[in-house]
Amino acid sequence: MSLINHHLTDALLMAYSAGTLPEAFSLVVATHISMCDECRARAGSFDSVGGQLLDSASGEALSDDALAATLRLIGGAAPEPRAPSTRRAPSTFPLPLQDYVGGDVDAVRWKRLGGGVRQMILPSSSDASVRLLYIPGGAAVPDHGHRGTELTLVLQGAFRDETDRFGVGDIEVATEDLEHKPVAEPGVACICLAATDAPLKFNSMIPRMLQPLFRI
Amino acid sequence: MNITGKTDAQGALGAYSATHHVCVRVPGKVQLTKKDESASPQWAAEILAIRDRQDQVAFARLFQHFAPRIKGFLMKSGTPADVAEDCAQEVMATVWRKAALFDPSRASASTWIFTIARNKRIDVVRRERRPEPEDLPWGPEAETDQEDALALEQENERLSKAISALPEKQRNLIQRAYFGDLSHRELAEETGLPLGTIKSRIRLALDRLRHEMK
């Protein structure tokens, strides 16, 4: 695992732990945590905050037969045995992402966006969208700003923009303030998982016209 | 830890002996020694008793403590009472079915049950999928390190005290985040997040992960 320099924010981790993020963002967060020990530890700690809140919460009385009803749900079945752990072959995509793609990087059904850039939109709830982006080495993603929040997680290669360099495992959290022009580093193509809760604002005419067509 | 709730549970179960779970000894399995009545490792011991012996009395005790809290938690998140009741029962049924996945060195009982309740809310109330991180590969032993489990419990006790000692405004902020009243964007704009309270918990969890992966 390469060294990860750009991590999730506390706000995103807390919202993921609380279960209030849009599905598209949760996918990016879960994929980053799969690659990043530090954010895994932070996420676990936010979960423990939730556990403490649950433990100290005032309860609501249940119906008299609630325990009996729950035992009926269980139906006398023994707890499920834990599946034996298997070390799986190394892959470009962590498992949560593979669930959405239907496999690793070779299973992606890319659609061309022009300039060698490709994308695949992944299914998610409608409050945000998430896609895979393929940017050939040295190529640029069209210059754009943001109306909402955009998360970009690098899965292969690297890109640079006005703020820094982002390599495998790094996540960029962009808000309204950031106008940026990400450029893939020369060499291997850069593959990113990107989610946004608002349409991107493109700064030139052609991408703007194409926007409804490509749903970006 | 709510002492009243626990006393109710013991009363409801009559003959159940409070000393029953002071030390769980199963050859080759984790042992959790409970030092005093108010420490929470007992809930972990109950889950392990379900895993190892299908212990229905242990399940009843867990149910008495957690089911009303799950229902309350879901209602505070805007779930109608009847849906919250059904969800609380389903969450507790999941606690039974998935007891073998519980690892007290990774999460306390209340944390683990919180994550099940949260996922139930996303599934039933929001009708969405919840992408989960890839699980770490289990070590060759796949057994809990008791020292880690106790360290985690102590850290969670500290976290619990730190949260209850927070000024009203900050505690309120955390509650609103977890009950779904604050979006991630609103959270990002809040500067009053009392994150110092979880810093040592994070360090411990990271040490544990690095130890596990080496």
Q: How far is B20 from chain A (nearest CA, A)?
A: 21
Q: How far is A128 from chain B (nearest CA, A)?
A: 12
Q: What is the pLDDT of residues B98-125, one digit of tens each?
A: 999 999 888 999 999 999 999 999 998 8
Residues of A in contact with B118 (CB under 8 A): 17-19, 50
For A22, nearest residue in chain B (alpha carbons): B128
Residue A27 near residue A130 (C-beta atoms within 8 A): yes
Consecutive H or E run containing B116: helix B109-124
- Return mean pLDDT, chain B: 79
Q: What is the side-by-side order of every strand in the sheet holding A183-184? A: A165-166, A159-160, A183-184
Q: How many domains does chain B have?
A: 1
pLDDT above 90 (res B47): yes
Q: Do B198 and A45 touch (CB under 8 A)?
A: yes
Which of A70, A97, A146 is the best residue to mutate to test the B interface, defined by the most B CB atoms within 10 Å of its own CB? A70
ipTM of the complex: 0.89
Supply the DSSP symbol for A58.
P
pLDDT above 60 (res B161): yes
Least confident of A174-188, B6-20, B127-141: B6-20
Cα–Cα distance for residue pair A155/A125, rounded to 1 Å: 22
Residue B49 near residue B55 (C-beta atoms within 8 A): yes
Q: Which two tokens stand for residue B62?
A: 């867990």
Q: What is the pLDDT of residues B164-177, one digit of tens each?
A: 888 888 888 899 99
Helices then strands, each counted (H, E), chain B: 9, 0
Q: Which two tokens stand for residue B111?
A: 């944390």
Mean pLDDT of A48-67: 94
- Domain locations in chain A as residue ranges: 1-55+96-216
Q: Higher model confidence: residue A20 or residue B20? A: A20
Q: What is the pLDDT of residues A29-56, one digit of tens each?
A: 999 999 999 999 999 999 999 999 999 8
Q: What is the pLDDT of residues A115-124, one digit of tens each?
A: 899 999 999 9
Q: Higher model confidence: residue B7 or residue A42? A: A42
For B68, nearest residue in chain A (alpha carbons): A59
Q: Structural domain of residue B175, as residue ranges? A: 3-213
A90 contacts chain B (CB < 8 A): no
Consecutive H or E run containing A148: none
CA-angle at A124, arms to B126 and A118, nearest 5°? 165
pLDDT above 60 (res A202): no
- Return mean pLDDT, chain A: 89
Cα–Cα distance for residue pair B171/B165, rounded to 1 Å: 9
Which residue among A21, A42, A62 places its CB closest to the CB of B88? Answer: A62
Mean pLDDT of A200-206: 55
Cα–Cα distance for residue pair A134/B139, rounded to 1 Å: 35
Q: Do B69 and A49 touch (CB under 8 A)?
A: no
Check whether domain A1-55+96-216 has CATH 2.60.120.10, yes or no: yes
User: Residue B46: what pLDDT?
Assistant: 96
Mean pLDDT of A191-202: 81
Residues of B in contact with A31 (CB under 8 A): 131, 133
pLDDT above 90 (res B143): no
Q: What is the pLDDT of residues B66-101, one digit of tens each?
A: 999 999 999 998 899 999 999 999 999 999 999 999
Residues of A in contact with B66 (CB under 8 A): 54
- Please, which pLDDT band fits residue B200 given cuts at 50, 70 and 90? confident
Which residue among B1, B133, B142 places its CB closest to the CB of A33? Answer: B133
Q: Do B206 and A37 touch (CB under 8 A)?
A: yes
User: Residue B51: what pLDDT?
Assistant: 96
Which residue among A11, A56, A74 places its CB closest to the CB of B188? Answer: A11
Q: Do B118 and A9 touch (CB under 8 A)?
A: no
Residue B114 near residue A47 (C-beta atoms within 8 A): yes
Q: How far is A115 from chain B (nearest CA, A)?
A: 32
A50 contacts chain B (CB < 8 A): yes
Residue of B130, B214, B73, B209 whose CA lies nearest to A44: B209
Q: What is the pLDDT of residues A69-106, one digit of tens each?
A: 999 999 999 999 988 777 778 899 999 999 999 999 99
Q: Higher model confidence: residue A169 or residue B153? A: A169
Residue B184 near residue A128 (C-beta atoms within 8 A): no
Residues of A in contact with B99 (CB under 8 A): 79
Which of A49, A65, A80, A146 is the best residue to mutate to test the B interface, defined by the most B CB atoms within 10 Å of its own CB? A49
